[in-house]
Homo-oligomer: A and B are copies of this chain.
Amino acid sequence: MSSAKSVPVSPLAPATYPDLPAIAGVGIATAEAGIRYAGRTDVLYVALAEGTQAAGVFTRSKCPSAPVDWCRDALTGPGARALVVNSGNANAFTGARGRDAVALTADIAARAAGCRPNEIFIASTGVIGEPLDATKFEGVLADCAGRTEAGSAAWAAAAKAIMTTDTFPKLATRQAEIEGVTVTINGIAKGAGMIAPDMATMLSFVFTDAALPQMVLQHLLSAGTKTSFNCVTVDGDTSTSDTLMLFATAKAGNTGITDAADPRLSGFRAALDDLLVELAQLVAKDGEGARKFVTVEVGGATDAASAHRIAMSIANSPLVKTAIAGEDANWGRVVMAVGKAGEPADRDRLSIWFGDIRVAHQGARDSAYSEEAASAVMREPGVTVRVDLGIGDGSARVWTCDLTSGYIAINGDYRS
């Protein structure tokens, strides 16, 4: 059994963490089940009040983990009564034993929560391909169910229990009004690289006391994902276990919303979108080995989808990411990444900025470009790369981090 690696906290970690308020209908407990790590919590149990509705967005991997399969099925069920998350073992690529382990986990949790197994949602993150011994949850989940808490300390503990190679916990909170009723949204997330031993699947769980039907929740979550978690990349690798879920306990007592397009939802939608963006950015800020937070903005593309693909091509380019690590305003590599995206582009209309410094214009180096000014921009902990393709109105924004020797050290260490 290995303990979590001791790596320094990301220099991009927030100076302080928000205190998350209680959300009616949400009770939290964490435990040490000894899944893989020693001396730290590795289980999160969240009790959800009767009537809680759930929505989910999952990995696009063609080889998803057993818990992802389970959650997709459970979303067609009656609702959510508990969420169980473990770190240390992803229960991915474990064959029939993986499915059995998920079913057993759901059984144990259902007994603890007093509900049916298909009202249990499950996520696992950690090593791939190792059988998960779900009997370790026996006793642990019942104990958790008997001592759930709702305050900010419980939320902080929840964010810590799901960490793997994360160097800091990720939490965010928002409030909004729906028809004059104040509702709260709390979210936690983890993720650093994308996968593997001592590893880094992206998981995020968002909770609200708003009363919203499942179809509305799913619509809001899917839409919000497009401009948040689907706009963040660390290494371009995609976990078999990526999971984002939204649970709504209905305890706030607002009524009357049946359609995601209802204009009375605009405040809630904005708050949710904003929270998702904050959590997604925190994931990029804790990318394995990250020393710079990078925003990539692409404008002037033929359409938004094209702009997004170009932005991701830039954000995933090892050469762009190593240049940023080296504080090098290397716009040639940005041109390369635009070119390799395969999207419409006209070399001679491209303009590129680092921060506010335009370094290239209309297909050549900007004659007014000062290497010194650009270098000053590159020394900042946050760097924005902006590209104007000059051929249309499509735009997109994505976030990533630089690629440093820290990433290699974390992922290339000899397995002990």
Contacts and interface: CB of A to CB of B under 8 A. Distances in A.
B63 A129 contact: no
Contact of A62 (B327, B345, B413): B345
A92 B364 CA distance: 9
A318 B196 contact: no
A226 interface: no
Given A344-B62, A347-B64, A411-B319, A336 B239 contact: yes
Nearest to A234: B318
A70 B399 CA distance: 37
Q: Dominant SS at the A interface?
A: loop
A195 B129 contact: no
A412 B93 contact: no
A127 interface: yes
A317 interface: yes
Nearest to A365: B129
A135 B92 CA distance: 61
Contacts of A409: 405
A404 B415 contact: no
Contacts of A235: 318-319
A111 to B, nearest CB: 27
A412 B335 contact: no
Given A326-B413, A411-B326, A332 B405 contact: no
Contacts of A195: 319, 332-333, 336
A237 B336 contact: yes
Interface in A82-117: 90, 92-98
A234 to B, nearest CB: 9
A365 B132 CA distance: 12
A396 interface: no
A116 to B, nearest CB: 26
A131 B95 CA distance: 57
Contacts of A236: 316-318
A415 B338 CA distance: 22
A143 interface: no
A194 B237 contact: no
Given A62-B343, A237-B319, A317-B237, A92 B330 contact: no
Contacts of A62: 338-345, 347
Interface in A347-368: 347-348, 350, 360, 362-365
A360 B92 CA distance: 12
A222 interface: no
Nearest to A336: B195
Contact of A330 (B193, B407, B415): B415
Nearest to A414: B326
Contacts of A337: 237
A124 interface: no
Contact of A412 (B317, B343, B403, B412): B403
A411 B329 CA distance: 12
A318 to B, nearest CB: 4
Given A127-B332, A239-B336, A327-B414, 8 more contacts: A62-B338, A63-B350, A64-B347, A131-B364, A194-B336, A196-B323, A196-B336, A238-B339
Nearest 3 pairs of A and B residues by beta carbon: A128-B332, A63-B339, A95-B364
10 contacts: A62-B342, A63-B336, A196-B323, A237-B319, A237-B337, A238-B340, A318-B318, A327-B414, A328-B415, A405-B412
